[in-house]
Structure 1
Amino acid sequence: MRVILKRPWLSTIIWAILTVIFVVTMPDINKIVRLKGEPKIGQEYPFQVAAALEKEYQGVPKDKKLSTVAIVFYDKNGLSDEDIVAIKRIIYGLNSNREKYNIENISTHFKNPELKNYYVSGNNKVILASIQADKSKREIIEIRDDIYKFIDSVRKPKSLEVYLTGGDLITQDFVKASEDGVKKTDVITIVFIIIVLVLVFRSPVTPIVSLLTVGVSFLISLSIVGHIADKFNFPINTFTRTFIVVSLFGIGTDYNLLIISRFREELANGKDVDNAIITTFKTAGKTVVFSCLAVFTGFAAFAAASFNFFRAMSAISVSVLVLLLVLLTLVPAVLKIFGKNLLWPFNKEIQHTHSRLWEAAARLSTKYPYVVLTTVILILIPFLLSVRGDLSFNTLNELSEKYKSVKGFNIISKNFSSGKTFPVTIYLKSNKSLATSDALSDIEKITEVLSKQKGIKDVYSVTRPQGEIIKQFTLSNQADTVIKGIDSLRDGLLKVNNAIETINKNLNMSTKEFDVQKLITGISQLENGVYELKISLEKLNGGFEQGLNGSKKIYDGLNKLSIGSSKLSEGFKEFYSEYTRSINKVKRELQGFDVNQIELLLTGINTANNNLKALSNKYPEISKDINYIMASEILSKIETEANKFAPKLKEFSSEYEKISAQINEADKAQKLISNSIDSIASASKQLADAHGKVLSGYYQIDKGQKQIISGVNLMYSKLQEFDKQKEQILKKVDELQTGFTSLKSALLQISDALNKMANSMQNMKSYFEGYKTTNIFYVPPEAIKSSSFKKALDSYMNKNRTITKIILILDTNPYTNKAIDIVDNVEKVLNNSLEFINTKFVSVGVGGISSSNHDLRSIYFKDFKTLRLIMIISIFILMFLISRSIFNAAIMVIIVFADYYLALSITEMIFKGIFKYEALNWAVPFFTFVVFLALGIDYSVFLLIRFYEYRNLELSEALRLTSANIGHVVTSAVIILAGTFAAMLPSGILTLMQVSICVVIGLVLLAFFLLPFLYNTLMRIKRDII
């Protein structure tokens, strides 16, 4: 100290040089915060696992960092055709310049119409596009700004608004808002400190000295923190700089106030400048050292945190060490340089100020300790019990709609479900292919369980690509298909049976409608007559005389023959017409009877039975169901009947073919008979005509005679030819009639079997009705390979089919506590579901904003609980070392804790009760705890060290003098520190505003209530106890 006092300018110059060096080399703190300032969750948490699986799912290298950005196209009047054209133009431009804008891919409904419901709002006011941006080489805000520039360059309607939003963009806007808020805080803090110090010391010089020393500490420490964050990845966040400013300007000014007040007090006691400085640093300097150690210990404890957000606060401990060095080396030099001029213009009336409030509180507390203690406890209890501890992780509360990311998000929330924009995505990874029937069934089981959870609006997965289960692969749908198949089979059986009955009826009619034997008998008689005619004609050649008489007889015979032939021809034609009609009727009925249809019915029955058995193998639990057992038995009986029926079907098929051939042969014979009779009739007519000519002219006898003989011979030959065919015709007709009889018998047996099968199928149908409400999911192997199902696989599985995703759409804002609670339940249900399926997943991750906040909440409570314990123990040990009393140390820790919870309770009432916020921001309890334990403990140190200066006096007097002398300093210090925190109110950042109000309330309660009353009361009661 004496070295510094001898060469005060040397110390000042050294610090000036150091300040310049550190300022010149200071890295861009804001850029470092943007790149490294996001809260990072451990790799073992579901959100980080999901992030890694998402990269693997997309085939993206692990070192590549992707950010999902939503482009919001909005027209409050509804999107017009002109809007759509402009939107497509923007999408096309971005897609064509993906490398320029660091875009990995763009997803819209224009190329995937099935996604229209996902990307187009129901009121047709909003269209969304999803971008995967690569932020590995450029900051996301740079990519965002370039995209905005391109969008602004595209011609579009004035009514069309375009916004970019997403988790990273909202976070970056929060960082920007924090930077702007800190700038406001810096200016307000400096102005406030100047005003307070001028009022306290009534000198314009004192604030300048105080700000000069604190400013040097701030610039150097900020530079150091920046360097270690940049070079060694030391954690840093948006609040680090803010709390460095608040802490250094707050406690730094407090320490300067303590030192200058003691310096003024020593000068007032008549000491010269050097001795006053030496005494000041022996007393107040000691207080500053212990106080700085308390603050350093509090902030340094955060280095043990696993959460980078907490560890970032340990950077403040670096600032505290720099401040301590400045206070011990630069401040003495400045005091020496200014001397009594430090208090100009009132340096001639230097005097020390006592605190009447603290002195009165000390008197009351030591005189009525139990009354005061009871009163304090009664005041504290309602507030302490009202603390709920609810926390909000909603970043959107921090920002107003002047930020485009927030504006875009709010548009989505109003026109879509906000949960659709920021869904929860579950990634499941297996070592084996998931494109199997078993794996898909397990995935659907998980999907089904998740869809039934409270807070889940929609679920999308490979088994529900459109948000609804693929019904064709559900057991209920398959049961319905079986029922329809049974109905179809039964209808087919009944139709076939009706056809068989019709055939039997027609066969009975056909066999009675014609008699071939009568026809053959008539033709035989005709043949005998023609033979006699032939003999007569041969005798005619014996003599002309006899020929004339014979000619007359012949003429009469020929007339009879002609008439008989004509009648025979007409009769046969009538018979042939009836015969043809009957045969054609039989043919039509037989053709209507499709033998293949029967075979298809039998095949369908066998297939149904096989499918039923396969289903029981896949789902053993079904085989125990009574409906399944009865259906299986019925179907087995049907199959047995069908197997018995199969040989009869083959026999009938063979008989059917024979009968068809016989009918064709009979048809040919009938045509032959018809032609022969027509020939006979024609020949008879020719003979009659020829003999008529004999009577008209004898000179033509010779010629006519030859014609007659020729005609008779022709007719006789035709009749002989028919005579040879008649036996064959009779045989064919007999075979046909026999075939008809066999056919009738076979058809009756078939009809009986079909009736039994139809009745059994009706019974089986009623049993399958019981499965129509079952949701068991099964995709046959052949369906997995189909082109239609491949679309679902491509949309929800990676290329090698080892990773699948399930998308959950929440029914609430994804930033709210409700969303976090939903995720908490989802993770529990998911882990439980995985225990009851056969497919083994080696890695499971849950992604999305809600999942990130859920993991953040988990690690927050885990780390905060540990760090709180570490800080309490550290501060308690330090206070014990200072006071050398466990009781005194315990008193100080209790007072600070009571102050912390009291201030937190009141702040919670203000923001939840008055401003209607969901809860305090999650960082508020943490930050305020740090402030109260690390900074608030300062005033306890001030009090303890001053008290030990009067330890030889009677306790009540020592407490009175301590309060009177240190009260004014503590009150002024509290006002300064409270003022520096109050300077955060205009920042516009909700977290800073809540911290500000909580700290101000706590500091006021500490300075004007807890320390002056509770401390003195407990110290007085301690004497009575001990």
Structure 2
Amino acid sequence: MKNFAERHVGALIAWIVVVLAAVLFMPDTSALVTKYGQTKIPSTAQSQIADTLHNKWGHGENNTRQVVVVFSNGNDKLTTTQKRSINSTIDKLRDHKDHYNIKSMLSAQDNAQARAQLISKDKTTELLQLNMSKSQGVRAQAAAVNKAAKTAGVKTYVTGSDILNDNFQKSTEDGLKKTEVIAAIFIFVVLVLVFRSPIVPLVSLGTVGVAMLASLSVVMNLVKYLGFPLSSFTQVFMVVVLFGVGTDYNILMYDQFKEELSGGLSAIDATRKARRIAGHTILFSGSSILIGFTALALAKFSIYQSAVGVAVGVAVLLAVLLTLNPFFMATMGKKMFWPTKNFDGGSRSKLWNFLSKNAVLRPILGILLVGLVSLPFLFTYNNNLNYDTLAELSDSLPAKKGFFVVQDHFSKGTAEPSTLYITDGNKKLDQEKYLKIIDRVTRKIQDKDGVKTVASATQPGGSKVSALYAKNQLKTVTKGSKQVNKGLGTINSGLLSAKNQIAASNMQSGLDGVTQLIAGTNKLIDGSNTLQSGTKSLASGATTLSSGANSLASGAQTVNSGTQTLASGASSLSSGASNLASGANTVNNGVGQINSQLAQSASSMSQLATAQTQIGELANQMNSVKSELAGASSLVSEAQQLQPAIEALSTYRSQIDGLMQELNGMGDLSTTVSSVKTSLTGVAGNDFKSEMANAQMISAAQSIIDDDTASAASKAAAEKIKAAATTSNTNLSSNLSTLQGVSQQFGSLSMPTADQIDAIKTIAAKMPSEEQLNSLQSEMAQLPSMLKDANALMDSASGLTAMSGKLGQLTSSISQLQAALKQLQAGTNSLASGATTLANGASSLTTGANTLAAGTGTLASGATTLASGTTTLANGATTLNNSVPALTSGLLQVNSGQKTMYTSLQGVVGQMQQLQSGLGSASDGLNTISKGVAQSNSYLMGLRQSAAADEFYIPTKTLHSSTFKPAIKQYMSSDKHTTRMTIVLGYNPSSAKAMTEVKAIQKEVQNELKGTDLDGATVAIGGQTATTADTHDIASEDFIRTAVIMLVGIGLALMFITRSILQPVYILGTLILAYFTSLSITRWVSGAFLGEKMLTWNTPFFAFVMLIALGVDYSIFLMMKYREFGDNGGRPSVNIVRASGVIGAVVISAAIILGGTFAALMPSGVLTLIQVALAVIIGLIILVLIIPILIPAAIHLTYDRSKLTDDDEDDENRN
């Protein structure tokens, strides 16, 4: 059990458990760095206020990050095909916005303003701006967008501040892995060289590894659960500090252990003594480091605070070294240094011994020599730092390449523009008065030399909208004022004309004219009553005439049908009678010839045969005539039936004669109607003229009323005139409306046309006269007797047949034949005479029947036309009769209005002189106004040319228009309490010039708002430049503050360790000198070999922390040895020289190991880590050289000013 305790086996078991727990509960360090490791600026900083406003912006932009997609064709213009491919890619991203967590996007396709901002002037590059949700990690988002944005034919990059920061973090993580491997190998090699044993390096690396693993787990759990400060540098510096310092402490411990073993002590005793002596030094030295890094917890800046994790690591390291090392030392003993056989005491440093001895001998010279060497570097030191994150990254990274492409083809600030926010929680800024202020601020910023473009709500495209400025609007106003002046001249001319017209007018004659109008209207009323009576009679007569014409048409048609039949029969009868007469004449001639022949030659019997034949033919013709006479008897019957129709024709003839008399009276009626229409037109014309005169009087009176220069009396008189004229106009308008209605009714009245009247007259002319109708009736009465005579004649002629039969007997008795022939000749003569008479009568009958048929046909057609015309006449007369009461009523209204007008005009006449005077005053006033307008226009023209006219003004209609709405949405928050301006600088966003410009802009904007309606509004600038500027201010301020705290803490620790006030001053002075000198040299080396002439903004702080915290170790090592020798007596100068010689070897070894450990940061490729490593290495070299000079010299000057003697040198060499 005793061996168990002496060999510290319990410590081994405990640390094994701790390591297992550390591994088991180790969080995901990369995720924690991503989540908590970003630079945190206090919420009161302007950039953070801006970020807060951005996160409350609305419009889908809350909690988003900005990403820029770059499409480039190098130095050649984008082709049409490439543009189509780019548009296709943009459309794909737009269609899958949710998949890629894109809240909003702005492309060159959106509008003209976006096109101007997102397409380079050389047409080689196009940008796509994305607002992406922060719900997903930036690394995963960037990878997804990179894949989706790949476009055939063009180079595509995805960049942005968050992506670049993530690349920096990844570069740091990758650099850390390299550093761990390189540091382990380097430490192993150095320890092998120092102790000439492979076991010591393994033990040292093992113990430091345990401390590193345990402390890292503690720090990461503190970050995860307690919000412990963290940055990308925390783990890196924990590695280099723990491995560097831990190895240094192990060297100190192992060197002391080796020394004790060389004195013959057992492993356990040597372990106990070595831990007591070296452990004392380690504890004091570690405490100073712990105090230095712990002091960083008081820093305000998150990056500085994150280094406090090193303090946790140092605390764990001290515990591991002082508890776990004893286990290996006590257990392994001398085997720990295998295969070394030499266990002589610790080695001495000849360099430190030489430097310290000469410093004590010539202290002033030593101090001056150090100062002389350091001064050039101190004087060339400057604090111009590089805040550009891009400098930290490799040029091969696509995001960095894309950023440079944007800077090359756009303004340098395009990729990371700044955003100025103006907010006032009590005011909505989308109002004209606030927009005017916003525009003034916009132009103020645009006027600054370092500003490339400024886009705002009033200038969404980054340039003025000329239509929204007073200068442009005054152009319209001055043009309008000229037109107004011209119009005033026209009005003035009108007033003068009205004045002259009133002066020239005879108002009394106007009243007389109104009296005449009243008298004329009364006559029209009387005429209207007469017209009503006449139209009533006309309507009644037209109705009767229409009925008669219809009956006449019907009867005429019946007569026409009968007469046509009669004419046909009479024609047949006439034809038969003519044939009969012809036959009778032929027979008579034949008989005469027979008689002649019989007388001449009785022997000519052949002629008898011929006569017999002719008699037979005559008999046949007589039979035909008899048949026709039988038909004629039926015609006589039909002719008798026509007698009533002929009597009706006689009646119709009488009616037509009466109708003709009515038509003759229509002329008078038409004249009356025409006279009434003419009167109505005259009355309407007079009313219209009166109404126009009243309108002129109203206009003139209104001009007087509107004239500010007119007297009150003139305005009162004008009011009365205007009221009277308005009342008169109202009555006249009503009367005119009534007259128009009556006139329209008269216009619809239709009288019989001339064609209708001519048709009636034609019918009357074609009607058979009374004499013709009487003659026709007489002839028709003789038809029966004529037919009777014709039948008797036929009966007489029938004996010819019998006579013909007896001709044969004539041969026997010529005498009898001759006698019979005489009788026959006498009968045929009578027959021929009767047939001729019959034929003539039938012919007359045919002619009369045809004439009657034609007349009755025309009569029937005319009667039908007459019936239609009289019906129309009756309807028109009825309509006219019905319209007359309205006419009479309208005329009464007109008469009433005229009387009212007469009364009104009587009042107007008395006021016209006052109106005339008022018109003159109005004319003078207009002249004055015209002059004033001309002067105003001249002033406005001058104002338009002045700077005062260059002022923003937006009409309300334009403000709420669809054209202006996109600008409001883009540059106003959803609640309209905040507006923003996008500012593109002409400088690198992370440059000192850009930071200075941003600060100046914020200050100028705040001053610009003073005394305006936005006085007191919050102004904040966001974006990479603003964040960098705030980082610069906070880092610079907190650096000084933190450095003071750290120096005070370490100074107090040194006072406790050295038990002196001056010695801590010497030590800290030496460290500060080494720090500034190393920074100046590092700057030169960086510029000469790395191409970076400036140090990154983190380098001075971390170099200071490392050099002060770690460099103080070497001073403590020296002072602890100095105290150890001082406890044994002797002169201070001798003790410090002896201590320097002894501890110098340890310090140089420790410096080599620590410097080598920091050198392992260089392959990381991260500029800050490289420069910090350079500064620490150079600082360690400087400390190794100046500590043995300055501190011994200071000790000698302070405590022992006497020179060293030979005995002192012997004492020194002996030890």
- Report TM bin, short chain: 0.7 to 0.9
Find the partner of 1:993 among 1147, 1170, 1173.
1170
Whole-Å Cα distance in 2 between the matches of residues 479 and 786 of structure 1? Answer: 22
Aligned AA for 2:140?
A: E
Alignment check: 8 A CA contact 2:197 2:338 kept = yes
Q: Structure 1, residues 778-836: CA drift from partner, whole Å, max 9, x if none?
A: 44445433443333322221233222112222111111111111111122223323332
Aligned to 1:967: 1144
Aligned to 1:933: 1108
Change (3 A) 1:645 1:29: farther
Identity among equivalent pairs (%)? 32
- Check if 1:18 corresponds to 2:18: yes
The CA deviation at 1:759 is 5.1
The CA deviation at 1:984 is 1.2
Aligned to 2:632: none
Aligned AA for 1:230?
A: K
Alignment check: 8 A CA contact 2:349 2:1143 kept = yes
Secondary structure, in 3 states, of the residue corresponding to 2:1021? strand
Aligned to 1:460: 455
Secondary structure, in 3 states, of the residue corresponding to 2:126? strand
The CA deviation at 1:892 is 1.0
Whole-Å Cα distance in 2 between the matches of residues 641 and 189 of structure 1? Answer: 103
Q: Structure 1, residues 981-1018: CA drift from partner, whole Å, max 9, x if none?
A: 1111121111011111111110000012x101111111
Change (3 A) 1:42 1:12: same
Find the partner of 2:1007 among 813, 820, 832.
832
Whole-Å Cα distance in 2 between the matches of residues 174 and 643 of structure 1? Answer: 86
Q: Structure 1, residues 321-369: CA drift from partner, whole Å, max 9, x if none?
A: 1111111111111112221122222224645321111111111011111
Q: Structure 1, residues 145-174: CA drift from partner, whole Å, max 9, x if none?
A: 12233345xxx42x2122111111000000
Secondary structure, in 3 states, of the residue corresponding to 1:127? strand
Aligned AA for 2:87?
A: K
The CA deviation at 1:46 is 1.4
The residue correspondences of 1:650-729 to structure 2 (distance < 5 A) are none
Find the partner of 1:791 among 966, 969, 992.
966
Whole-Å Cα distance in 2 between the matches of residues 981 and 601 of structure 1? Answer: 97
Q: Structure 1, residues 491-542: CA drift from partner, whole Å, max 9, x if none?
A: 5566888999999999xxxxxxxxxxxxxxxxxxxxxxxxxxxxxxxxxxxx
Residues 782-791 or 385-394, more deviating: 782-791
Alignment check: 8 A CA contact 1:426 1:807 kept = yes
Secondary structure, in 3 states, of the residue corresponding to 2:413? helix
Aligned AA for 1:83?
A: Q
Find the partner of 2:67 among 62, 66, 69.
69
Find the partner of 2:160 among 166, 187, 203.
166
Find the partner of 1:143 among 141, 144, 147.
141
Secondary structure, in 3 states, of the residue corresponding to 1:58? coil
Change (3 A) 1:431 1:405: same
Aligned AA for 2:1146?
A: V
Alignment check: 8 A CA contact 1:475 1:771 kept = no
- Check if 1:413 corresponds to 2:407: yes
- What count of residue pairs does the alignment treat as equivalent? 837
Secondary structure, in 3 states, of the residue corresponding to 2:66? strand
The CA deviation at 1:80 is 2.4
Change (3 A) 1:643 1:73: farther
Find the partner of 1:981 among 1158, 1171, 1174.
1158
Secondary structure, in 3 states, of the residue corresponding to 1:128? strand
Change (3 A) 1:123 1:337: same
Alignment check: 8 A CA contact 1:5 1:336 kept = no
Aligned to 1:451: 446
Whole-Å Cα distance in 1 between the matches of residues 40 and 65 of structure 2? Answer: 15
Whole-Å Cα distance in 2 between the matches of residues 816 and 28 of structure 1? Answer: 35
Q: Structure 1, residues 384-430: CA drift from partner, whole Å, max 9, x if none?
A: 23222122211011112322211111111111113233221122233
Whole-Å Cα distance in 1 between the matches of residues 1159 and 174 of structure 2? Answer: 16
Q: What's the TM-score once normalised by structure 1's chain length?
A: 0.74
The CA deviation at 1:745 is 12
Change (3 A) 1:851 1:602: farther
Find the partner of 1:867 among 1037, 1042, 1047.
1042
Aligned to 1:114: 113
Secondary structure, in 3 states, of the residue corresponding to 2:414? helix
Secondary structure, in 3 states, of the residue corresponding to 1:291? helix
Change (3 A) 1:815 1:264: same
Aligned to 1:367: 361
Aligned to 2:1058: 883
Change (3 A) 1:648 1:470: farther
Secondary structure, in 3 states, of the residue corresponding to 1:133? strand
Aligned to 1:479: 474
- Check if 1:803 corresponds to 2:978: yes
Find the partner of 1:327 among 314, 321, 325.
321
Find the partner of 1:823 among 994, 998, 1011.
998
The CA deviation at 1:840 is 5.0
Whole-Å Cα distance in 2 between the matches of residues 475 and 600 of structure 1? Answer: 34
The CA deviation at 1:644 is 13
Find the partner of 1:1015 among 1182, 1191, 1194.
1191
Whole-Å Cα distance in 1 between the matches of residues 148 and 443 of structure 2? Answer: 44
Change (3 A) 1:866 1:487: same
- Check if 1:103 corresponds to 2:72: no
Aligned to 1:953: 1130
Whole-Å Cα distance in 1 between the matches of residues 4 and 281 of structure 2? Answer: 20
Aligned AA for 1:770?
A: G
Secondary structure, in 3 states, of the residue corresponding to 2:57? helix
Aligned to 1:208: 202
Q: Unaligned regions of 5+ residues in structure 2, if any?
A: 502-688, 733-913, 1203-1215
Secondary structure, in 3 states, of the residue corresponding to 1:57? coil
Residues 817-826 or 835-844, more deviating: 835-844
Whole-Å Cα distance in 2 between the matches of residues 882 and 1012 of structure 1? Answer: 19
Whole-Å Cα distance in 2 between the matches of residues 600 and 829 of structure 1? Answer: 55
Whole-Å Cα distance in 2 between the matches of residues 883 and 916 of structure 1? Answer: 44
Aligned to 1:907: 1082
Q: Structure 1, residues 61-99: CA drift from partner, whole Å, max 9, x if none?
A: 9xx732111111222232223223322332222222222
Aligned to 2:807: none
Whole-Å Cα distance in 2 between the matches of residues 166 and 642 of structure 1? Answer: 75
Whole-Å Cα distance in 2 between the matches of residues 915 and 979 of structure 1? Answer: 19
Change (3 A) 1:883 1:598: farther
Whole-Å Cα distance in 1 between the matches of residues 962 and 168 of structure 2? Answer: 46
Change (3 A) 1:909 1:504: same
Secondary structure, in 3 states, of the residue corresponding to 1:426? strand
Q: Structure 1, residues 928-960: CA drift from partner, whole Å, max 9, x if none?
A: 111011111110110011111111111222122
Aligned AA for 1:392?
A: N
Aligned to 2:58: 58
Whole-Å Cα distance in 1 between the matches of residues 498 and 1010 of structure 2? Answer: 64
The CA deviation at 1:477 is 3.5
The residue correspondences of 1:507-546 to structure 2 (distance < 5 A) are none
The CA deviation at 1:473 is 4.1
Alignment check: 8 A CA contact 1:4 1:329 kept = no
Whole-Å Cα distance in 2 between the matches of residues 1015 and 969 of structure 1? Answer: 17
Q: Structure 1, residues 564-608: CA drift from partner, whole Å, max 9, x if none?
A: xxxxxxxxxxxxxxxxxxxxxxx9xx9xxx9999999999xx9xx
Change (3 A) 1:744 1:866: closer
Find the partner of 1:288 among 273, 282, 286.
282
Whole-Å Cα distance in 2 between the matches of residues 596 and 863 of structure 1? Answer: 84
Aligned AA for 1:763?
A: Q
Aligned AA for 1:177?
A: S
Whole-Å Cα distance in 1 between the matches of residues 84 and 220 of structure 2? Answer: 48
The residue correspondences of 1:176-325 to structure 2 (distance < 5 A) are 176-325=170-319
Whole-Å Cα distance in 2 between the matches of residues 143 and 355 of structure 1? Answer: 57
Alignment check: 8 A CA contact 2:499 2:919 kept = yes
The CA deviation at 1:923 is 0.6
Change (3 A) 1:284 1:107: same
Task: Report the structure number with the largest CA radius of gyration.
Answer: 2
Q: Structure 1, residues 468-504: CA drift from partner, whole Å, max 9, x if none?
A: 3444443434433332222333455668889999999
Alignment check: 8 A CA contact 1:429 1:844 kept = no
The CA deviation at 1:754 is 6.9
